Structure 1
Protein backbone atom coordinates (compact mmCIF):
# COMPACT_ATOMS: atom_id res chain seq x y z
CA UNK A 1 0.00 0.00 0.00
CA UNK A 2 1.22 3.50 -0.89
CA UNK A 3 2.65 5.64 1.92
CA UNK A 4 0.48 8.72 1.27
CA UNK A 5 2.45 11.14 3.43
CA UNK A 6 5.74 10.33 1.69
CA UNK A 7 4.10 10.15 -1.74
CA UNK A 8 2.54 13.60 -1.38
CA UNK A 9 5.87 15.10 -0.28
CA UNK A 10 7.62 13.45 -3.23
CA UNK A 11 4.89 14.59 -5.63
CA UNK A 12 5.09 18.22 -4.47
CA UNK A 13 8.87 18.17 -4.88
CA UNK A 14 8.40 16.63 -8.34
CA UNK A 15 6.02 19.30 -9.65
CA UNK A 16 8.14 22.15 -8.25
CA UNK A 17 11.57 20.90 -9.28
CA UNK A 18 10.92 18.86 -12.42
CA UNK A 19 7.73 20.51 -13.71
CA UNK A 20 8.79 24.00 -12.67
CA UNK A 21 5.42 24.90 -11.10
CA UNK A 22 5.22 27.82 -8.70
CA UNK A 23 5.05 27.17 -4.96
CA UNK A 24 1.50 28.59 -4.74
CA UNK A 25 0.36 26.24 -7.54
CA UNK A 26 1.94 23.31 -5.73
CA UNK A 27 0.10 24.27 -2.54
CA UNK A 28 -3.18 24.39 -4.50
CA UNK A 29 -2.47 20.88 -5.83
CA UNK A 30 -1.76 19.69 -2.30
CA UNK A 31 -5.08 21.14 -1.11
CA UNK A 32 -6.92 19.39 -3.96
CA UNK A 33 -5.27 16.08 -3.10
CA UNK A 34 -6.31 16.43 0.53
CA UNK A 35 -9.97 16.60 -0.58
CA UNK A 36 -9.44 13.61 -2.83
CA UNK A 37 -7.86 11.55 -0.05
CA UNK A 38 -10.76 12.35 2.30
CA UNK A 39 -13.13 11.01 -0.36
CA UNK A 40 -10.98 7.91 -0.89
CA UNK A 41 -11.03 7.23 2.85
CA UNK A 42 -14.79 7.73 2.96
CA UNK A 43 -15.26 5.24 0.12
CA UNK A 44 -12.65 2.91 1.61
CA UNK A 45 -10.74 2.72 -1.69
CA UNK A 46 -6.95 2.85 -1.74
CA UNK A 47 -5.66 5.66 -3.96
CA UNK A 48 -3.69 3.20 -6.10
CA UNK A 49 -6.83 1.13 -6.69
CA UNK A 50 -8.99 3.93 -8.12
CA UNK A 51 -10.44 3.23 -11.53
CA UNK A 52 -11.85 5.65 -14.10
CA UNK A 53 -15.42 5.33 -12.77
CA UNK A 54 -14.23 5.98 -9.21
CA UNK A 55 -12.53 9.19 -10.37
CA UNK A 56 -15.61 10.39 -12.25
CA UNK A 57 -17.82 9.59 -9.24
CA UNK A 58 -15.57 11.78 -7.09
CA UNK A 59 -15.63 14.64 -9.61
CA UNK A 60 -19.40 14.37 -9.94
CA UNK A 61 -19.81 14.56 -6.16
CA UNK A 62 -17.69 17.70 -5.74
CA UNK A 63 -19.40 19.28 -8.77
CA UNK A 64 -22.80 18.71 -7.12
CA UNK A 65 -21.43 20.32 -3.97
CA UNK A 66 -21.11 23.54 -5.97
CA UNK A 67 -17.50 23.47 -7.15
CA UNK A 68 -17.07 26.02 -9.94
CA UNK A 69 -15.89 24.90 -13.41
CA UNK A 70 -12.43 26.45 -13.02
CA UNK A 71 -11.91 24.76 -9.65
CA UNK A 72 -13.19 21.48 -11.10
CA UNK A 73 -10.78 21.84 -14.01
CA UNK A 74 -7.89 22.39 -11.60
CA UNK A 75 -8.91 19.35 -9.55
CA UNK A 76 -8.86 17.25 -12.72
CA UNK A 77 -5.42 18.59 -13.60
CA UNK A 78 -4.21 17.83 -10.07
CA UNK A 79 -5.39 14.23 -10.36
CA UNK A 80 -3.89 13.87 -13.85
CA UNK A 81 -0.49 15.07 -12.65
CA UNK A 82 -0.66 12.96 -9.49
CA UNK A 83 -1.47 9.74 -11.32
CA UNK A 84 1.16 10.46 -13.97
CA UNK A 85 3.62 10.77 -11.11
CA UNK A 86 2.50 7.41 -9.69
CA UNK A 87 3.06 5.84 -13.12
CA UNK A 88 6.54 7.39 -13.38
CA UNK A 89 7.41 6.11 -9.90
CA UNK A 90 6.04 2.67 -10.88
CA UNK A 91 3.60 2.73 -7.98
CA UNK A 92 0.68 1.90 -10.30
CA UNK A 93 0.42 0.30 -13.75
CA UNK A 94 -2.69 1.97 -15.22
CA UNK A 95 -3.72 5.62 -15.10
CA UNK A 96 -7.42 6.10 -14.24
CA UNK A 97 -7.38 9.75 -15.38
CA UNK A 98 -6.40 9.10 -19.02
CA UNK A 99 -9.90 9.53 -20.48
CA UNK A 100 -11.15 12.39 -18.31
CA UNK A 101 -12.97 15.10 -20.25
CA UNK A 102 -12.36 18.65 -19.10
CA UNK A 103 -15.44 20.78 -18.28
CA UNK A 104 -16.27 23.73 -20.50
CA UNK A 105 -15.06 26.85 -18.74
CA UNK A 106 -17.03 30.01 -19.46
CA UNK A 107 -14.80 32.69 -20.90
CA UNK A 108 -14.14 35.42 -18.38
CA UNK A 109 -12.97 38.77 -19.71
CA UNK A 110 -10.90 40.52 -17.05
CA UNK A 111 -12.04 43.81 -15.57
CA UNK A 112 -10.07 46.82 -16.69
CA UNK A 113 -9.93 50.61 -16.56
CA UNK A 114 -10.00 53.05 -19.44
CA UNK A 115 -6.96 55.28 -19.97
CA UNK A 116 -8.93 58.16 -18.47
CA UNK A 117 -9.79 56.12 -15.38
CA UNK A 118 -6.16 55.07 -14.93
CA UNK A 119 -5.10 58.71 -15.17
CA UNK A 120 -7.76 59.73 -12.62
CA UNK A 121 -6.64 56.94 -10.28
CA UNK A 122 -2.96 57.88 -10.44
CA UNK A 123 -3.38 61.64 -10.17
CA UNK A 124 -5.78 61.34 -7.22
CA UNK A 125 -2.91 60.25 -4.96
CA UNK A 126 -1.68 63.37 -3.19
CA UNK A 127 2.13 63.16 -3.20
CA UNK A 128 2.63 64.63 0.27
CA UNK A 129 3.75 62.11 2.90
CA UNK A 130 5.91 59.02 2.49
CA UNK A 131 2.95 56.60 2.35
CA UNK A 132 1.15 58.50 -0.41
CA UNK A 133 4.32 58.93 -2.44
CA UNK A 134 5.04 55.20 -2.05
CA UNK A 135 1.49 54.35 -3.20
CA UNK A 136 1.82 56.60 -6.25
CA UNK A 137 5.19 55.04 -7.14
CA UNK A 138 3.76 51.53 -6.77
CA UNK A 139 0.72 52.30 -8.92
CA UNK A 140 2.81 54.01 -11.60
CA UNK A 141 5.13 51.00 -11.74
CA UNK A 142 2.26 48.51 -11.71
CA UNK A 143 0.58 50.18 -14.68
CA UNK A 144 3.90 50.71 -16.48
CA UNK A 145 4.97 47.06 -16.27
CA UNK A 146 1.91 44.84 -15.76
CA UNK A 147 3.54 43.17 -12.76
CA UNK A 148 1.61 40.74 -10.59
CA UNK A 149 1.01 42.20 -7.14
CA UNK A 150 3.23 39.53 -5.56
CA UNK A 151 6.05 40.58 -7.91
CA UNK A 152 5.52 44.24 -7.05
CA UNK A 153 5.58 43.92 -3.26
CA UNK A 154 8.63 41.61 -3.40
CA UNK A 155 10.61 43.92 -5.68
CA UNK A 156 14.13 44.49 -4.37
CA UNK A 157 16.79 47.08 -5.15
CA UNK A 158 18.84 44.34 -6.78
CA UNK A 159 15.96 43.76 -9.25
CA UNK A 160 15.72 47.27 -10.66
CA UNK A 161 17.91 49.50 -12.81
CA UNK A 162 16.59 53.05 -12.50
CA UNK A 163 19.16 54.46 -14.90
CA UNK A 164 18.16 52.17 -17.76
CA UNK A 165 14.48 51.90 -16.66
CA UNK A 166 14.46 48.09 -16.53
CA UNK A 167 13.50 45.65 -13.84
CA UNK A 168 14.11 41.93 -13.46
CA UNK A 169 11.35 39.66 -12.17
CA UNK A 170 11.30 36.02 -11.16
CA UNK A 171 7.71 35.07 -11.97
CA UNK A 172 5.58 31.93 -11.97
CA UNK A 173 7.46 28.71 -12.54
CA UNK A 174 10.71 30.51 -11.56
CA UNK A 175 10.85 32.13 -15.01
CA UNK A 176 12.94 35.28 -15.15
CA UNK A 177 11.97 38.18 -17.38
CA UNK A 178 13.18 41.73 -18.04
CA UNK A 179 10.56 44.47 -18.20
CA UNK A 180 11.10 48.09 -19.27
CA UNK A 181 9.22 51.00 -17.71
CA UNK A 182 8.84 54.68 -18.53
CA UNK A 183 10.15 57.93 -17.08
CA UNK A 184 6.89 58.60 -15.22
CA UNK A 185 7.35 55.53 -13.03
CA UNK A 186 11.07 56.23 -12.71
CA UNK A 187 10.45 59.81 -11.52
CA UNK A 188 7.95 58.76 -8.84
CA UNK A 189 10.19 55.94 -7.60
CA UNK A 190 13.06 58.44 -7.26
CA UNK A 191 10.82 60.87 -5.34
CA UNK A 192 9.75 58.05 -3.05
CA UNK A 193 13.32 56.88 -2.43
CA UNK A 194 14.30 60.41 -1.37
CA UNK A 195 11.40 60.43 1.12
CA UNK A 196 11.89 56.82 2.22
CA UNK A 197 13.39 57.03 5.70
CA UNK A 198 16.21 54.62 6.61
CA UNK A 199 14.70 51.80 8.65
CA UNK A 200 15.88 48.54 10.09
CA UNK A 201 14.12 45.48 8.73
CA UNK A 202 13.36 44.81 5.07
CA UNK A 203 16.16 47.02 3.78
CA UNK A 204 16.44 45.34 0.38
CA UNK A 205 12.71 45.66 -0.35
CA UNK A 206 11.93 48.85 -2.25
CA UNK A 207 8.37 49.31 -1.04
CA UNK A 208 8.00 49.13 2.74
CA UNK A 209 5.66 50.30 5.50
CA UNK A 210 6.40 53.11 7.95
CA UNK A 211 7.68 50.44 10.33
CA UNK A 212 10.20 49.22 7.78
CA UNK A 213 8.39 45.99 6.97
CA UNK A 214 7.60 44.68 3.50
CA UNK A 215 4.13 45.85 2.50
CA UNK A 216 1.65 42.97 2.29
CA UNK A 217 -0.66 42.36 -0.66
CA UNK A 218 -3.68 42.87 1.65
CA UNK A 219 -2.39 46.26 2.79
CA UNK A 220 -1.68 47.34 -0.78
CA UNK A 221 -5.14 46.15 -1.88
CA UNK A 222 -6.70 48.18 0.98
CA UNK A 223 -4.74 51.28 -0.02
CA UNK A 224 -5.82 50.83 -3.66
CA UNK A 225 -9.49 50.57 -2.65
CA UNK A 226 -9.24 53.88 -0.79
CA UNK A 227 -7.42 55.55 -3.68
CA UNK A 228 -10.06 54.35 -6.18
CA UNK A 229 -12.84 55.63 -3.92
CA UNK A 230 -11.19 59.05 -3.66
CA UNK A 231 -10.79 59.10 -7.45
CA UNK A 232 -14.54 58.55 -7.86
CA UNK A 233 -14.10 55.16 -9.55
CA UNK A 234 -16.98 52.85 -8.68
CA UNK A 235 -15.66 49.73 -10.43
CA UNK A 236 -14.43 46.86 -8.30
CA UNK A 237 -10.67 47.40 -8.53
CA UNK A 238 -7.88 45.04 -7.52
CA UNK A 239 -4.13 45.25 -8.26
CA UNK A 240 -4.80 42.78 -11.10
CA UNK A 241 -7.12 45.35 -12.71
CA UNK A 242 -4.09 47.50 -13.51
CA UNK A 243 -2.29 44.48 -14.95
CA UNK A 244 -5.27 43.82 -17.22
CA UNK A 245 -5.45 47.48 -18.18
CA UNK A 246 -1.73 47.57 -18.97
CA UNK A 247 -2.05 44.60 -21.34
CA UNK A 248 -5.22 45.79 -23.06
CA UNK A 249 -3.95 49.36 -23.55
CA UNK A 250 -0.69 48.09 -25.06
CA UNK A 251 -2.54 45.87 -27.54
CA UNK A 252 -5.08 48.52 -28.47
CA UNK A 253 -2.15 50.88 -29.07
CA UNK A 254 -0.69 48.46 -31.61
CA UNK A 255 1.83 46.46 -29.54
CA UNK A 256 2.72 42.98 -30.80
CA UNK A 257 0.96 40.27 -28.82
CA UNK A 258 4.18 38.31 -28.33
CA UNK A 259 5.81 41.37 -26.78
CA UNK A 260 2.88 41.68 -24.38
CA UNK A 261 3.09 37.95 -23.64
CA UNK A 262 6.75 38.36 -22.67
CA UNK A 263 6.01 41.39 -20.50
CA UNK A 264 3.23 39.60 -18.63
CA UNK A 265 5.24 36.42 -18.19
CA UNK A 266 2.62 34.16 -19.80
CA UNK A 267 3.98 30.74 -20.76
CA UNK A 268 1.37 30.42 -23.53
CA UNK A 269 0.24 33.06 -25.99
CA UNK A 270 -3.31 31.71 -25.68
CA UNK A 271 -3.41 33.21 -22.17
CA UNK A 272 -2.47 36.62 -23.56
CA UNK A 273 -5.03 36.39 -26.37
CA UNK A 274 -7.88 37.02 -23.92
CA UNK A 275 -6.88 40.70 -24.04
CA UNK A 276 -7.41 40.79 -27.80
CA UNK A 277 -11.02 39.73 -27.12
CA UNK A 278 -11.49 42.99 -25.25
CA UNK A 279 -10.48 44.88 -28.37
CA UNK A 280 -12.64 42.64 -30.56
CA UNK A 281 -15.63 43.50 -28.38
CA UNK A 282 -14.89 47.20 -28.84
CA UNK A 283 -14.56 46.75 -32.62
CA UNK A 284 -17.88 44.89 -32.76
CA UNK A 285 -19.56 47.62 -30.72
CA UNK A 286 -18.22 50.35 -33.02
CA UNK A 287 -19.29 48.40 -36.12
CA UNK A 288 -22.80 47.95 -34.75
CA UNK A 289 -23.05 51.62 -33.87
CA UNK A 290 -21.72 53.15 -37.09
CA UNK A 291 -22.14 50.64 -39.94
CA UNK A 292 -25.27 51.41 -42.02
CA UNK A 293 -26.21 47.75 -42.37
CA UNK A 294 -25.67 46.64 -38.77
Structure 2
Protein backbone atom coordinates (compact mmCIF):
# COMPACT_ATOMS: atom_id res chain seq x y z
CA UNK A 1 0.00 0.00 0.00
CA UNK A 2 1.20 3.50 -0.83
CA UNK A 3 1.70 6.01 1.94
CA UNK A 4 0.47 9.56 2.32
CA UNK A 5 3.99 10.86 2.92
CA UNK A 6 4.19 14.40 1.54
CA UNK A 7 0.54 14.51 0.50
CA UNK A 8 -1.16 17.48 2.09
CA UNK A 9 -4.89 18.02 2.20
CA UNK A 10 -4.56 20.90 -0.28
CA UNK A 11 -2.56 18.80 -2.77
CA UNK A 12 -5.06 15.97 -2.35
CA UNK A 13 -7.89 18.37 -3.18
CA UNK A 14 -6.07 19.30 -6.42
CA UNK A 15 -5.76 15.63 -7.35
CA UNK A 16 -9.43 15.11 -6.58
CA UNK A 17 -10.31 18.02 -8.88
CA UNK A 18 -8.44 16.31 -11.74
CA UNK A 19 -10.26 13.08 -11.01
CA UNK A 20 -13.64 14.84 -11.18
CA UNK A 21 -12.76 16.64 -14.40
CA UNK A 22 -11.08 13.82 -16.31
CA UNK A 23 -12.46 10.53 -15.02
CA UNK A 24 -15.92 11.57 -13.87
CA UNK A 25 -16.56 14.25 -16.49
CA UNK A 26 -18.40 16.13 -13.75
CA UNK A 27 -20.09 19.43 -14.53
CA UNK A 28 -18.34 22.69 -13.55
CA UNK A 29 -21.14 23.29 -11.05
CA UNK A 30 -20.55 19.92 -9.34
CA UNK A 31 -16.77 20.42 -9.25
CA UNK A 32 -17.17 23.91 -7.84
CA UNK A 33 -19.43 22.67 -5.04
CA UNK A 34 -17.08 19.81 -4.08
CA UNK A 35 -14.01 22.04 -4.00
CA UNK A 36 -15.80 24.76 -2.07
CA UNK A 37 -16.74 22.25 0.65
CA UNK A 38 -13.20 20.88 0.78
CA UNK A 39 -11.72 24.37 0.91
CA UNK A 40 -14.00 25.21 3.83
CA UNK A 41 -12.81 22.08 5.64
CA UNK A 42 -9.17 23.08 4.98
CA UNK A 43 -9.80 26.58 6.35
CA UNK A 44 -11.36 25.08 9.46
CA UNK A 45 -8.25 22.91 9.90
CA UNK A 46 -5.97 25.95 9.84
CA UNK A 47 -8.12 27.58 12.51
CA UNK A 48 -8.28 24.71 15.00
CA UNK A 49 -4.86 23.17 14.28
CA UNK A 50 -2.61 26.15 13.60
CA UNK A 51 0.48 24.20 14.69
CA UNK A 52 -0.09 21.67 11.92
CA UNK A 53 0.20 23.62 8.72
CA UNK A 54 -0.31 22.41 6.14
CA UNK A 55 -2.72 19.67 7.15
CA UNK A 56 -1.59 16.18 6.14
CA UNK A 57 -4.24 14.02 4.50
CA UNK A 58 -3.45 11.09 6.80
CA UNK A 59 -4.22 13.24 9.87
CA UNK A 60 -7.85 13.78 8.91
CA UNK A 61 -9.82 11.65 11.36
CA UNK A 62 -13.43 11.08 12.35
CA UNK A 63 -13.18 13.27 15.43
CA UNK A 64 -11.86 16.15 13.34
CA UNK A 65 -14.70 15.79 10.80
CA UNK A 66 -17.27 15.74 13.59
CA UNK A 67 -15.75 18.92 15.06
CA UNK A 68 -16.07 20.56 11.65
CA UNK A 69 -19.76 19.64 11.37
CA UNK A 70 -20.46 20.78 14.93
CA UNK A 71 -18.78 24.11 14.23
CA UNK A 72 -20.92 24.63 11.12
CA UNK A 73 -24.05 23.68 13.04
CA UNK A 74 -23.12 26.21 15.72
CA UNK A 75 -22.88 28.87 13.00
CA UNK A 76 -26.43 28.12 11.92
CA UNK A 77 -25.87 25.66 9.07
CA UNK A 78 -28.95 23.56 8.38
CA UNK A 79 -29.19 19.79 8.11
CA UNK A 80 -29.18 19.88 4.31
CA UNK A 81 -25.93 21.89 4.28
CA UNK A 82 -24.28 19.57 6.77
CA UNK A 83 -25.33 16.51 4.77
CA UNK A 84 -23.79 17.99 1.62
CA UNK A 85 -20.47 18.71 3.39
CA UNK A 86 -20.46 15.17 4.72
CA UNK A 87 -21.14 13.76 1.26
CA UNK A 88 -18.26 15.77 -0.23
CA UNK A 89 -15.80 14.54 2.40
CA UNK A 90 -16.91 10.93 1.96
CA UNK A 91 -16.49 11.05 -1.81
CA UNK A 92 -13.11 12.77 -1.43
CA UNK A 93 -11.72 10.21 1.02
CA UNK A 94 -13.32 7.32 -0.88
CA UNK A 95 -11.20 8.24 -3.87
CA UNK A 96 -7.94 8.08 -1.91
CA UNK A 97 -8.96 4.81 -0.29
CA UNK A 98 -9.56 3.31 -3.74
CA UNK A 99 -6.14 4.58 -4.78
CA UNK A 100 -4.71 2.72 -1.73
CA UNK A 101 -3.33 5.97 -0.37
CA UNK A 102 -5.56 5.74 2.70
CA UNK A 103 -6.25 2.47 4.54
CA UNK A 104 -9.89 3.40 5.14
CA UNK A 105 -12.38 6.22 4.84
CA UNK A 106 -12.71 7.83 8.26
CA UNK A 107 -15.66 9.93 7.05
CA UNK A 108 -17.74 6.76 6.99
CA UNK A 109 -17.29 6.49 10.74
CA UNK A 110 -19.24 9.73 11.13
CA UNK A 111 -22.99 9.55 10.95
CA UNK A 112 -24.33 12.02 8.41
CA UNK A 113 -27.04 14.33 9.75
CA UNK A 114 -30.51 13.34 8.66
CA UNK A 115 -31.93 15.88 6.27
CA UNK A 116 -35.27 17.25 7.32
CA UNK A 117 -37.19 17.95 4.14
CA UNK A 118 -39.96 20.52 4.55
CA UNK A 119 -42.92 20.01 2.28
CA UNK A 120 -42.90 22.79 -0.31
CA UNK A 121 -45.97 24.94 -0.84
CA UNK A 122 -47.94 24.26 -4.00
CA UNK A 123 -49.29 27.03 -6.21
CA UNK A 124 -53.02 26.48 -6.79
CA UNK A 125 -53.98 26.11 -10.45
CA UNK A 126 -55.82 29.46 -10.49
CA UNK A 127 -52.65 31.21 -9.25
CA UNK A 128 -50.59 29.58 -11.99
CA UNK A 129 -53.16 30.62 -14.60
CA UNK A 130 -53.11 34.19 -13.26
CA UNK A 131 -49.35 34.24 -13.79
CA UNK A 132 -49.60 32.82 -17.29
CA UNK A 133 -52.62 34.76 -18.52
CA UNK A 134 -50.86 38.03 -19.32
CA UNK A 135 -50.98 40.18 -22.42
CA UNK A 136 -47.46 40.18 -23.82
CA UNK A 137 -46.77 43.07 -26.17
CA UNK A 138 -43.09 44.02 -25.95
CA UNK A 139 -40.44 41.56 -27.26
CA UNK A 140 -39.09 40.77 -23.79
CA UNK A 141 -42.63 40.21 -22.52
CA UNK A 142 -43.23 37.77 -25.38
CA UNK A 143 -40.03 35.94 -24.41
CA UNK A 144 -41.03 35.89 -20.74
CA UNK A 145 -44.45 34.50 -21.63
CA UNK A 146 -42.84 31.63 -23.53
CA UNK A 147 -40.51 30.89 -20.60
CA UNK A 148 -43.30 30.87 -18.00
CA UNK A 149 -45.49 28.68 -20.19
CA UNK A 150 -42.64 26.23 -20.74
CA UNK A 151 -41.80 25.96 -17.05
CA UNK A 152 -45.35 24.93 -16.19
CA UNK A 153 -46.02 22.92 -19.35
CA UNK A 154 -42.82 20.85 -19.30
CA UNK A 155 -41.68 20.95 -15.65
CA UNK A 156 -38.04 21.57 -16.59
CA UNK A 157 -35.32 22.92 -14.32
CA UNK A 158 -34.04 26.47 -14.79
CA UNK A 159 -30.59 25.08 -15.70
CA UNK A 160 -32.24 22.94 -18.38
CA UNK A 161 -34.18 25.87 -19.79
CA UNK A 162 -31.20 28.19 -20.22
CA UNK A 163 -29.23 25.38 -21.88
CA UNK A 164 -31.88 24.83 -24.58
CA UNK A 165 -30.84 25.39 -28.19
CA UNK A 166 -33.11 25.92 -31.17
CA UNK A 167 -32.47 22.38 -32.36
CA UNK A 168 -33.83 21.00 -29.06
CA UNK A 169 -37.34 22.28 -29.84
CA UNK A 170 -39.81 20.41 -32.05
CA UNK A 171 -42.80 22.73 -32.25
CA UNK A 172 -45.08 20.57 -34.43
CA UNK A 173 -44.84 17.59 -32.06
CA UNK A 174 -44.71 19.70 -28.89
CA UNK A 175 -41.51 18.10 -27.58
CA UNK A 176 -38.23 19.26 -26.11
CA UNK A 177 -34.91 17.46 -25.91
CA UNK A 178 -33.50 18.28 -22.47
CA UNK A 179 -30.07 17.61 -21.00
CA UNK A 180 -30.63 17.09 -17.29
CA UNK A 181 -28.48 16.37 -14.26
CA UNK A 182 -25.58 14.04 -14.89
CA UNK A 183 -25.83 14.92 -18.59
CA UNK A 184 -28.78 12.55 -18.95
CA UNK A 185 -30.91 13.33 -21.98
CA UNK A 186 -34.69 13.02 -21.89
CA UNK A 187 -37.70 14.08 -23.92
CA UNK A 188 -40.41 16.27 -22.39
CA UNK A 189 -43.68 17.53 -23.77
CA UNK A 190 -45.62 20.78 -23.89
CA UNK A 191 -49.16 21.61 -24.95
CA UNK A 192 -50.84 23.93 -27.42
CA UNK A 193 -50.67 27.07 -25.27
CA UNK A 194 -46.93 26.69 -24.79
CA UNK A 195 -46.59 25.94 -28.51
CA UNK A 196 -48.29 29.20 -29.37
CA UNK A 197 -46.19 31.16 -26.87
CA UNK A 198 -42.96 29.64 -28.22
CA UNK A 199 -43.96 30.36 -31.83
CA UNK A 200 -44.72 33.97 -30.95
CA UNK A 201 -41.30 34.27 -29.33
CA UNK A 202 -39.45 32.62 -32.23
CA UNK A 203 -41.10 35.07 -34.61
CA UNK A 204 -39.42 38.01 -32.84
CA UNK A 205 -36.21 36.35 -31.58
CA UNK A 206 -33.19 38.50 -32.53
CA UNK A 207 -29.75 37.06 -31.66
CA UNK A 208 -26.72 39.33 -31.68
CA UNK A 209 -24.95 36.63 -33.67
CA UNK A 210 -27.22 34.97 -36.28
CA UNK A 211 -25.40 31.67 -35.70
CA UNK A 212 -26.09 31.68 -31.94
CA UNK A 213 -27.98 28.42 -31.21
CA UNK A 214 -29.42 29.55 -27.85
CA UNK A 215 -33.21 29.39 -27.65
CA UNK A 216 -33.76 32.06 -25.03
CA UNK A 217 -31.83 35.33 -25.31
CA UNK A 218 -31.32 38.33 -23.04
CA UNK A 219 -31.87 41.95 -24.05
CA UNK A 220 -28.41 41.98 -25.64
CA UNK A 221 -29.27 39.07 -27.91
CA UNK A 222 -27.10 36.56 -26.05
CA UNK A 223 -27.97 33.38 -24.16
CA UNK A 224 -30.12 34.12 -21.13
CA UNK A 225 -28.50 33.26 -17.78
CA UNK A 226 -29.93 31.33 -14.85
CA UNK A 227 -29.95 34.50 -12.77
CA UNK A 228 -31.74 36.36 -15.52
CA UNK A 229 -34.51 33.76 -15.58
CA UNK A 230 -34.86 33.83 -11.79
CA UNK A 231 -35.22 37.62 -11.83
CA UNK A 232 -37.82 37.67 -14.58
CA UNK A 233 -39.91 35.02 -12.82
CA UNK A 234 -39.71 37.04 -9.61
CA UNK A 235 -40.78 40.20 -11.44
CA UNK A 236 -43.84 38.59 -13.00
CA UNK A 237 -44.82 36.93 -9.73
CA UNK A 238 -44.68 40.28 -7.94
CA UNK A 239 -46.81 41.87 -10.66
CA UNK A 240 -49.36 39.07 -10.30
CA UNK A 241 -49.39 39.24 -6.50
CA UNK A 242 -47.94 35.79 -5.95
CA UNK A 243 -45.75 35.04 -2.90
CA UNK A 244 -42.22 36.51 -3.20
CA UNK A 245 -40.78 33.02 -2.66
CA UNK A 246 -42.27 31.83 -5.99
CA UNK A 247 -39.46 30.64 -8.26
CA UNK A 248 -38.86 28.55 -11.39
CA UNK A 249 -38.72 25.51 -9.11
CA UNK A 250 -42.15 26.43 -7.73
CA UNK A 251 -43.56 26.10 -11.24
CA UNK A 252 -41.76 22.78 -11.69
CA UNK A 253 -43.30 21.60 -8.44
CA UNK A 254 -46.74 22.81 -9.52
CA UNK A 255 -46.31 20.89 -12.79
CA UNK A 256 -45.65 17.66 -10.92
CA UNK A 257 -48.26 18.10 -8.21
CA UNK A 258 -51.04 19.08 -10.61
CA UNK A 259 -50.25 16.03 -12.75
CA UNK A 260 -50.47 13.86 -9.65
CA UNK A 261 -53.70 15.47 -8.51
CA UNK A 262 -55.24 14.71 -11.89
CA UNK A 263 -54.39 11.03 -11.88
CA UNK A 264 -50.85 10.73 -13.31
CA UNK A 265 -48.77 7.98 -11.71
CA UNK A 266 -45.52 8.71 -9.89
CA UNK A 267 -43.39 6.64 -12.27
CA UNK A 268 -44.48 8.73 -15.24
CA UNK A 269 -43.91 11.96 -13.32
CA UNK A 270 -40.47 10.68 -12.34
CA UNK A 271 -39.58 10.25 -16.01
CA UNK A 272 -40.91 13.67 -16.97
CA UNK A 273 -38.96 15.37 -14.17
CA UNK A 274 -35.75 13.48 -14.92
CA UNK A 275 -35.36 12.02 -11.43
CA UNK A 276 -33.13 8.98 -11.03
CA UNK A 277 -34.83 7.87 -7.82
CA UNK A 278 -38.57 7.60 -7.29
CA UNK A 279 -38.04 8.76 -3.69
CA UNK A 280 -36.97 12.17 -4.99
CA UNK A 281 -40.25 12.51 -6.84
CA UNK A 282 -42.23 11.40 -3.81
CA UNK A 283 -40.64 14.01 -1.57
CA UNK A 284 -41.99 17.00 -3.41
CA UNK A 285 -44.93 15.77 -5.38
CA UNK A 286 -46.95 15.09 -2.27
CA UNK A 287 -50.67 14.92 -2.86
CA UNK A 288 -52.55 18.00 -1.68
CA UNK A 289 -54.66 17.67 1.44
CA UNK A 290 -57.82 18.35 -0.55
CA UNK A 291 -56.96 15.57 -3.00
CA UNK A 292 -56.23 13.13 -0.18
CA UNK A 293 -59.56 13.92 1.46
CA UNK A 294 -61.36 13.49 -1.85
CA UNK A 295 -59.79 10.08 -2.44
CA UNK A 296 -60.54 9.00 1.13
CA UNK A 297 -64.09 10.30 1.05
CA UNK A 298 -64.85 8.56 -2.25
CA UNK A 299 -63.00 5.31 -1.60
CA UNK A 300 -63.55 4.32 2.02
CA UNK A 301 -66.96 2.69 2.58
CA UNK A 302 -67.42 4.25 6.03
CA UNK A 303 -66.13 7.70 5.13
CA UNK A 304 -68.72 8.94 2.65
CA UNK A 305 -69.95 11.69 4.89
CA UNK A 306 -71.71 13.75 2.26
CA UNK A 307 -73.71 10.94 0.65
CA UNK A 308 -77.28 10.59 1.83
CA UNK A 309 -78.40 7.05 2.71
Gaps of 5+ in 1: none
Q: How far apart, CA to CA, are the structure 2 residues paired with 1:97 and 1:73? A: 12
Deviation of 1:171 (Å): 1.2
- Secondary structure of 2:113's counterpart equals coil
State the match for 1:261 in structure 2.
270
Deviation of 1:167 (Å): 1.0
Q: Go from structure 1 to structure 2 and tell me whether the alpha carbon gap of 1:201 and 1:56 turns closer, same or farther (over 3 Å shift).
A: farther
State the match for 1:88 in structure 2.
98
Deviation of 1:120 (Å): 0.5
How is 1:63-78 mapped onto 2 (pairs within 5 angstroms)?
63-78=73-88
Deviation of 1:66 (Å): 1.7
Match of 2:16 among 4, 11, 18: 11
Q: Is the 8 A contact 1:170 1:177 kept in 2?
A: yes
Q: Go from structure 1 to structure 2 and tell me whether the alpha carbon gap of 1:87 and 1:105 turns closer, same or farther (over 3 Å shift).
A: same
Deviation sequence 1:206-245 (CA, Å, 0-9, x none): 1112321112222222222221222232352111110110
Deviation of 1:18 (Å): 4.7
State the match for 1:33 in structure 2.
38
Comparing 266-275 with 278-287, greater Cα deviation is found at 278-287
State the match for 1:48 in structure 2.
58
Q: How far apart, CA to CA, are the structure 1 residues paired with 2:283 and 2:290? A: 11
Q: Is the 8 A contact 1:166 1:179 kept in 2?
A: yes
Q: Is the 8 A contact 1:117 1:233 kept in 2?
A: yes
Two-structure CA RMSD over aligned residues (Å): 2.4
Deviation sequence 1:133-162 (CA, Å, 0-9, x none): 111111111111111111112210121111
Q: Is the 8 A contact 2:146 2:198 kept in 1?
A: yes
Deviation sequence 1:243-292 (CA, Å, 0-9, x none): 1101111111111211111111111110000134343575259969x976
Q: Is the 8 A contact 1:63 1:72 kept in 2?
A: yes
Q: Is the 8 A contact 2:143 2:201 kept in 1?
A: yes
Instruction: Calculate the TM-score normalised by the size of structure 2.
Output: 0.85
Q: How far apart, CA to CA, are the structure 1 residues paired with 2:66 and 2:108? A: 12
How is 1:187-198 mapped onto 2 (pairs within 5 angstroms)?
187-197=196-206
The structure number with the bigger radius of gyration is 2
Aligned residues: 290
Q: How far apart, CA to CA, are the structure 2 residues paired with 1:253 and 1:20? A: 39
State the match for 1:220 in structure 2.
229
For the pair 1:274 / 2:272, whether they are aligned, the reply is no
Q: Go from structure 1 to structure 2 and tell me whether the alpha carbon gap of 1:273 and 1:74 turns closer, same or farther (over 3 Å shift).
A: same
Match of 2:242 among 233, 250, 257: 233
- Secondary structure of 2:177's counterpart equals strand
- Secondary structure of 1:226's counterpart equals helix
Q: Go from structure 1 to structure 2 and tell me whether the alpha carbon gap of 1:210 and 1:66 turns closer, same or farther (over 3 Å shift).
A: closer
Instruction: Calculate the TM-score normalised by the size of structure 1.
Output: 0.89
State the match for 2:260 in structure 1.
251
Q: Is the 8 A contact 1:40 1:46 kept in 2?
A: no
Comparing 58-67 with 147-156, greater Cα deviation is found at 58-67
Gaps of 5+ in 2: 1-5, 298-302
Q: How far apart, CA to CA, are the structure 2 residues paired with 1:19 and 1:200? A: 33
Deviation sequence 1:13-60 (CA, Å, 0-9, x none): 434555565431221111010011122233125222222222212222
Q: How far apart, CA to CA, are the structure 1 residues paired with 2:190 and 2:280? A: 22
Q: Is the 8 A contact 1:168 1:178 kept in 2?
A: yes
